[in-house]
Amino acid sequence: MPWSDWIDFDTLKTISWHTSGVVGGILSFIVIGYIIDWGIGAGPVKGVLESIEGFALVGLVLWLVYQTGHLLWIRRVKNGSRLCVLVA
């Protein structure tokens, strides 16, 4: 059996979209946070902005984990396989 029969390329492609999306999102929030931080300077507002940025970054990572798990679970059920990326 060719090796390509054992890999679900659709799942890999979708995971690559999610990964690129979350990497882009994290970089964007870091850059936006850096610019705002640079503009505002020190003060109590800085802590609030750091909280907002932290929540956004943690949220993005949480959401990636949730989406990937959800996707792999769906493919696991569909493929009848324990390893989701591998087609049974």
Partner 1 sequence: MDRDSASWLREAAKFYLMYLAVGAAFAPFGLVYGLLALKGWNHPLAGLVLLAGGFLTARFVWERVHRRLFVRPARVIQGVPASASRAVPDPVRQGGVTTCARLGENGWAMPHVVDHGHSRVLGSTVDGLR
Report the interface residues with partner 1, using CB under 8 A.
Answer: 10, 13-14, 16-18, 20-22, 24-25, 28-29, 44, 47-60, 62-64, 66
Nearest to partner 1 of 17, 73 (CB atom): 17
The minimum distance between CB 2 and partner 1, in angstroms, equals 19
The minimum distance between CB 84 and partner 1, in angstroms, equals 15
Separation between Cα atoms, residue 45 and residue 1, nearest integer Å: 61
Nearest to partner 1 of 6, 59 (CB atom): 59
Which residue in this structure is represented by tokens 């936006």? 32
Query: At residue 77, what is the residue type?
Result: V
Nearest to partner 1 of 47, 69 (CB atom): 47
Which residue in this structure is represented by tokens 């690129």? 20
Helices (H), 1-86: 9-40, 44-79
Query: Which pair of tokens denotes residue 44?
Result: 């109590």
